[in-house]
Amino acid sequence: MTIHPVTILGEPVLHRRADEVKAFDGQLKALVADMHETMDAANGVGLAAPQIGVGLRLFTYKMENDDGVPTRGVVVNPTLTVGKISGNAPDPDDEVEGCLSVPGIDYPLKRADWVRVRGFDADGTPLDFEATGWFARCMQHEYDHLDGKLYVDRLNARYGKKARRAAKSNGWGVPGLTWMPGVDPDPFGHEPKQ
């Protein structure tokens, strides 16, 4: 398994629709293993293939949930049915989201509290499950990556303006920027694993 650099806002693969996975083979299983390794090293709860520069429709996740879904997994070629998203302003305490490809910053974002996820595991076995609460948020966030969207693209006007200023001050928005989990300082301040 290999830990990969995480692409940062501005890398073209993050801003275009990813391609369907065509082959459920050893190459795919190796990619999934690398994604899990990278996600763990980055202290992430999810990682989409475009975040390591691979334009394919799959993401890994690691999140406790109350939905009877394994806490660690992969979804290949997913489709999402998304519940209603409230028109209320996002709660700045309880609805804050971050992203490994927008390292070190987070903003409130309103998401649906329920989604239905369909897709396949790394062996090509069909998956079909419901996700609620923060697990639903994770599914929506990772799925967006596969359509070339980052969570900052969905922010309301107030937080979107802040995100654009932060991106500019960090020099993001251009190709070629990455950070290396386990080597570079953790952008979200997580303690190193023992």
Q: Which two tokens stand for residue 9?
A: 């806002």
- CA Rg value for the chain: 16
SS3 content of the chain, % helix, strand, coil (to 5): 30, 25, 45
CA–CA distance, 35 with 52 (Å, rounded to integer): 8
The residues assigned a catalytic role are 142
For 118, counting Cβ atoms within 10 Å of its Cβ (0-12 exposed, 13-18 middle, 19+ buried), the class is middle
Look at residue 96 and give its three-state secondary structure.
Answer: strand
Distance from the first to the final alpha carbon of the chain: 19
